[in-house]
Structure 1
Amino acid sequence: MTDLTWLETAPLADLMARAAAARDAAFGRNVSYSRKVFIPLTKLCRDVCHYCTFAQRPKRGHAAYLTADEVLAIAKAGEAAGCTEALFTLGDKPELRYRAAGDELASLGHQTTISYLRAMCALVLKETSLLPHVNPGVMSAEEIAGLREVSASQGIMLESTSERLCQPGGVHYGSPDKVPAVRLETLRLAGELAVPFTTGILIGIGESRAERVDALVAIRDLHARYGHIQEVIVQNFRAKPDTKLANADEPDLADLLWTIAAARLILPADVHVQAPPNLSPGVYQQLIGAGIDDWGGVSPVTPDHVNPEAPWPHLEALGLRTAEMDKILVPRLPVYPAWAADTGRWLHPKVATRVMQMADAEGWARDDEWAPGLTFAPRPGVVMLSKVDPELERIVERASGGERLREAEIVRLFGARDVDYERVITVADELRKAVSGDTVRYVVNRNINYTNICYYRCKFCAFSKGKTHEALRGTPYDLEMSEIVRRSQEAWDRGATEVCLQGGIHPDYTGETYIAICKAIKAAIPGMHIHAFSPLEVTQGAATLGLSLTDFLARLKDAGLGTLPGTAAEILDNEIRAIICPDKINTQQWVDVARAAHALGLRTTSTIMYGHLEKPLNWARHLLVLRDLQAETGGFTEFVPLPFVHMEAPMYLRGMARKGPTLREAILMHAVARLALHPLITNIQTSWVKMGPEGAAMCLNAGANDMGGTLMNESISRAAGTQHGQEFPPEAMEQLIGSLVRNPLQRDTLYRPVGNERRVVSFSAAELAPIVQTPPRKVMAE
């Protein structure tokens, strides 16, 4: 073992500086906390720790355990207050000491406290949105495994590895569950069973500094073996009345700071170090200076039942004190991001679903109620810091100069919060203004989805239907050519310059189908621009005719195709595509279609669908694929971020996806794209149908310069659950743009201003005629 005796003689200031540097290297500017509600399931305990006021004896006329109704009432109060964690606190196996405990458990239908705890966790999981975290004391492997099915994380305070404290006169004398070997065995079993685990040490109870180091080393070694220790709490003893240590000296601040710093330097870099803020009021900044990166649980609803004399700080005050140390207060779940990133290993499937739905892309807790497609008004976050991270500033400067960023640099931009976030969107908007001025463009167009029948089974798609699946959120259809032409003519009559055509991959379609669609529209409306066929449709069409991509695209161009939508991209990273669309074209095939189109003079858009199960690293890879291809071909007209709309998406309903991006992530996608793609892709578009008008406006102040199309008949996002309508007409477009003191400009697909005739027609459009969804038939066109 490495000699750690130097820790005891090192100057405290030097030790704290080293610990703070180690913390910063591991976790950057973030200091986390969990918004939780405390549920004291029972205050009976078979142990008699000499400092504890939580444990009580049975009292005649008083229940030994909270009832299910009482548990649920506390949990729902926490849920209403925005909590994400239900922390179950309880004594250790009271039924082994008190007959009253055993009798009451029997009346509740349980033999053990942990059996009842498991039932209450299951109840909270079922009836609320909270994630249970349990601290039930010493457990067997069977008990840990049972609780793993109904909790996101578990914990036991090691407190100390000192055997002396268990001898007569020691604080743990008479407490069988405080024997170090017994508690270490619980920690070991949790590691074997892959349970995200919390532990910690209690200082000032008679142990020496050397014994604290021994305890931290024991924790370190267990984590090195199993990787399951999420956090280590450094808790300072508080003397309490009516205990044997009521008059004992409490550890002073220097002792606490030394222990925090020692813990940070002894423990592996991925283990979080926590100090409870309510036990050290007034010195929060010094705790951060010693190396903590987490405040633990803070409850807006319930007191700290273990230390009821120590009230929780208000979150605003905690955020301000954290900001004074140039740190950002970040909400977390009971399972930390590193463990949430591998739910298959660390969490039971039912719990994993809840964690994914409550997490953002980095694995922290979602920090607002907004989601794409909802009409919930987006609210910007509060800025508490004044100084931008120098490393982020360097990345922003490189991007502004047009340099190609590295993956890790783009990931850092996506992680921006507080003042760093403000800096990213400010610079992105400055770039927008330098490139595009104060003009915001939009196109009057119509979406025509010619079929919703598709033989692919993409896990994110709520639009496509199988031929025989008429009950799946709508009836399958396959439009007659006459209906496609009718809708195109109606769009032209309402001022449109573009029809955007995409659909499912119908098993009866061939490349001739797509060629025939172009010919029919052009024959009827020669002036209409046809923006059609994703790289998936192009790949399928070429394959059915035995043509190369280039030859098929050339035939489409001759038939009247003007440009291609860069959809079917989702995430251009095969690691993610293998999960969400394994039978679809891969990243290289998507790039091949775009490259071939660009070589023929067919320009394309580029897109990303984000906010489901991918991470910022996947976003970075996607952006670099687009940037590199644009550097080669120059064929992309714009980049369109498409936030995942979760409500009806199959993979969300199956528990495989998040609730779309958070508002911060959605705004950052536009801003970071402006930076990462500069100066190669000059137009960044925001999707009103997914972001909503208010969200789109926020994006226009964060680097976006284009509002996309009026659409007339949006159906794909609506199938997924968006509530933002089918059409955003020119009057509404220009009103929104004007409210931002920007200049609206109606454009065509290739970003040229439209003529006055088209503009006038678009502002006097008649109501849309009812659409006709032609039922499926054998073959659509030759």
Structure 2
Amino acid sequence: MSRVDILLERVGQGERLSPEQYLTLYLEADLLVLGQAANMVRRRWHKENVITFVIDRNINYTNVCQCGCRFCAFYRRTGDADAYVITENELLQKIAETIQVGGTGVLIQGGLHPDLDLTFFERMLRTIKEHFPGIHVHSFSPPEIAYLAEKSNMDYKQVLARLQRAGLDSLPGGGAEILVDRVRKLISPRKASARVWLDVMRAAHELGMRTTATMMFGHVETPAERIEHMLKIRDLQDETGGFTAFIPWTFQPGRTALGGEPVTAVEYLRLLAISRLVLDNVPNLQVSWVTQGAKVAQVALSFGANDFGSTMLEENVVRAAGVDYRVPMEEIVRCIQDAGFTAVQRTNLYQTVRTF
């Protein structure tokens, strides 16, 4: 047996490998064989032949951000002609539209606006829950929480507890990019460090809040740093058990200061598969049709993924970089069924809503 075959056999038996061994699999294993191994791990978690998805909406409350990340084409500075902060009426209208089409949640995120304080977000959350008490609010990334904590002279848990009392239900994994500070200093030097991202997530988990984890790859990071990112998430999951899902997505270079070439579909599928092998303690792995399109996302269901993600009735950040895939719910269901699976609509916490 080759070195790669031996490592794949060990992974298949549920054994954890060293970072160097995972890297060997990532770089050297045959793509289809790697996908098969990832599917074995998926079946440990999900024995039913089911792929899930959620109907929700991404709402950006502001595009003003003081970070100026080199990979972002969405942000604006205070005073720019197209800078905005969403009005209460606009926010409520977007949520009402989401509910009208069967949506169960909203993902609300924005830039690090210098003029918005903690009371702004508490008021936003209370208003949402007063009008739509059943909606799940999956919102505010770790950099937003860290920024609010610094401005409010509080620790992360204090900020999260106040937001939780106001109506925050769970935390998305945005702002992770690559959890290696060498990379972060190059692409987002003014954003929270890797340690801060992990510490915010730990604080959320300690409050009983579930969260997701993400990775944005395909810019300046090395393959070894991608593995390091996954292992940091796995270590925190061993400690807290608070992550519901991992969502890797590819950097979109269009209209950004960072620039570069987009990641290929093959590279995306390889990353997806190795993440399923490394993150053996995270129950769900999402595809990223927003950056890859429906066809690649459909293929990804054979590379360890068990979730098609969100219908994303609205998405602005990736679109700002020039990528504008749109996949309606009916197309998501068809993609899942044509791939040989049963399509199931879920909530943000992976509870079943309906089966198709």
- TM-score relative to the length of structure 2: 0.96
Alignment check: 8 A CA contact 1:416 1:424 kept: no
Match of 1:647 among 249, 254, 273: 254
Residue 459 of structure 1 aligns to a residue whose secondary structure is coil
The residue aligned with 1:545 is 152
Match of 1:744 among 327, 343, 353: 343
Instruction: State the alpha-carbon separation in 2 of the partners of residues 429 and 673 from structure 1.
Output: 11
Match of 1:677 among 261, 279, 284: 279
Are residues 469 and 563 of structure 1, via their aligned partners in 2, closer, same or farther at CA, if it must alter by over 3 Å?
A: same
Alignment check: 8 A CA contact 1:686 1:699 kept: yes
Match of 1:461 among 69, 72, 83: 72
Q: Deviations over 1:641-674 (max 9, x none)?
A: 111111222210xxxxx31322221001110011
Instruction: State the alpha-carbon separation in 1 of the partners of residues 112 and 17 from structure 2.
Output: 36
The residue aligned with 1:484 is 91
Residue 561 of structure 1 aligns to a residue whose secondary structure is coil
- 1:597 Cα deviation from its structure 2 partner: 0.2
Match of 1:661 among 263, 271, 278: 263
Are residues 739 and 578 of structure 1, via their aligned partners in 2, closer, same or farther at CA, if it must alter by over 3 Å?
A: same
Instruction: State the alpha-carbon separation in 2 of the partners of residues 422 and 755 from structure 1.
Output: 32
- 1:488 Cα deviation from its structure 2 partner: 1.0
Match of 2:34 among 404, 410, 424: 424
Q: Deviations over 1:480-534 (max 9, x none)?
A: 1221122112211221100000011111011222222111111110000000000
The code of the aligned residue for 1:672 comes to: I
> Unaligned stretches of 5+ in structure 1?
1-388, 653-657, 760-782
**Higher RCO (Cα < 8 Å, 6 or more apart):** 2
Match of 2:290 among 689, 711, 725: 689
Alignment check: 8 A CA contact 2:51 2:343 kept: yes
> Unaligned stretches of 5+ in structure 2?
none
* 1:609 aligned onto 2:216: yes
* 1:414 aligned onto 2:26: yes
Match of 1:511 among 118, 121, 125: 118
- 1:433 Cα deviation from its structure 2 partner: 2.7
The code of the aligned residue for 2:23 comes to: V
Instruction: State the alpha-carbon separation in 1 of the partners of residues 138 and 224 from structure 2.
Output: 31
* 1:733 aligned onto 2:329: no
Alignment check: 8 A CA contact 2:58 2:108 kept: yes
* 1:435 aligned onto 2:36: no
The code of the aligned residue for 1:543 comes to: E
Match of 1:525 among 132, 136, 140: 132
Match of 2:231 among 624, 638, 659: 624
Alignment check: 8 A CA contact 1:536 1:585 kept: yes
- 1:404 Cα deviation from its structure 2 partner: 3.0
Residue 249 of structure 2 aligns to a residue whose secondary structure is strand
The code of the aligned residue for 1:390 comes to: S
Output aligned runs, 1:135-534, within 5 Å.
390-416=2-28, 420-436=30-46, 437-470=48-81, 475-534=82-141
Instruction: State the alpha-carbon separation in 2 of the partners of residues 397 and 469 from structure 1.
Output: 56
- Higher Cα Rg, which structure: 1
- 1:755 Cα deviation from its structure 2 partner: 5.7
Residue 671 of structure 1 aligns to a residue whose secondary structure is helix
The code of the aligned residue for 2:21 comes to: E
Q: Deviations over 1:127-171 (max 9, x none)?
A: xxxxxxxxxxxxxxxxxxxxxxxxxxxxxxxxxxxxxxxxxxxxx
Alignment check: 8 A CA contact 2:344 2:354 kept: no
The residue aligned with 2:142 is 535
- 1:729 Cα deviation from its structure 2 partner: 2.6
Alignment check: 8 A CA contact 1:489 1:524 kept: no
Instruction: State the alpha-carbon separation in 1 of the partners of residues 138 and 282 from structure 2.
Output: 19
The residue aligned with 1:176 is none
The residue aligned with 2:321 is 720
Alignment check: 8 A CA contact 1:510 1:540 kept: no
Residue 415 of structure 1 aligns to a residue whose secondary structure is helix
Instruction: State the alpha-carbon separation in 2 of the partners of residues 622 and 691 from structure 1.
Output: 21
Identity %: 37
The code of the aligned residue for 1:715 comes to: N
Residue 532 of structure 1 aligns to a residue whose secondary structure is coil
Q: Deviations over 1:42-91 (max 9, x none)?
A: xxxxxxxxxxxxxxxxxxxxxxxxxxxxxxxxxxxxxxxxxxxxxxxxxx
Instruction: State the alpha-carbon separation in 2 of the partners of residues 722 and 399 from structure 1.
Output: 36
Alignment check: 8 A CA contact 1:572 1:622 kept: yes
Alignment check: 8 A CA contact 1:644 1:660 kept: yes
The code of the aligned residue for 2:316 comes to: S
The code of the aligned residue for 1:499 comes to: V
The residue aligned with 1:373 is none
Instruction: State the alpha-carbon separation in 1 of the partners of residues 180 and 7 from structure 2.
Output: 23
Q: Deviations over 1:389-428 (max 9, x none)?
A: 72112222333333332221222122136xx222111111
Q: Deviations over 1:598-618 (max 9, x none)?
A: 010101000000001111011
Residue 213 of structure 2 aligns to a residue whose secondary structure is strand
The code of the aligned residue for 1:743 comes to: T
Q: Deviations over 1:568-593 (max 9, x none)?
A: 00000111111111111101100000
Alignment check: 8 A CA contact 2:106 2:136 kept: yes
Output aligned runs, 1:695-710, within 5 Å.
695-710=296-311
- 1:705 Cα deviation from its structure 2 partner: 0.6
Q: How many residue pairs end up in the alignment?
A: 355
- 1:733 Cα deviation from its structure 2 partner: 1.1
The code of the aligned residue for 2:273 comes to: A
The residue aligned with 1:236 is none
Alignment check: 8 A CA contact 1:452 1:477 kept: yes
The residue aligned with 1:121 is none
Q: Deviations over 1:237-286 (max 9, x none)?
A: xxxxxxxxxxxxxxxxxxxxxxxxxxxxxxxxxxxxxxxxxxxxxxxxxx
Residue 701 of structure 1 aligns to a residue whose secondary structure is coil
Instruction: State the alpha-carbon separation in 1 of the partners of residues 247 and 225 from structure 2.
Output: 16
* 1:753 aligned onto 2:352: yes
Instruction: State the alpha-carbon separation in 1 of the partners of residues 285 and 308 from structure 2.
Output: 9
Alignment check: 8 A CA contact 1:687 1:707 kept: yes
The code of the aligned residue for 2:68 comes to: R
Alignment check: 8 A CA contact 1:686 1:696 kept: yes
Q: Once superposed, what is the RMSD of the aligned Cα atoms?
A: 1.5
Alignment check: 8 A CA contact 2:272 2:305 kept: yes
Residue 556 of structure 1 aligns to a residue whose secondary structure is helix
Q: Deviations over 1:306-332 (max 9, x none)?
A: xxxxxxxxxxxxxxxxxxxxxxxxxxx
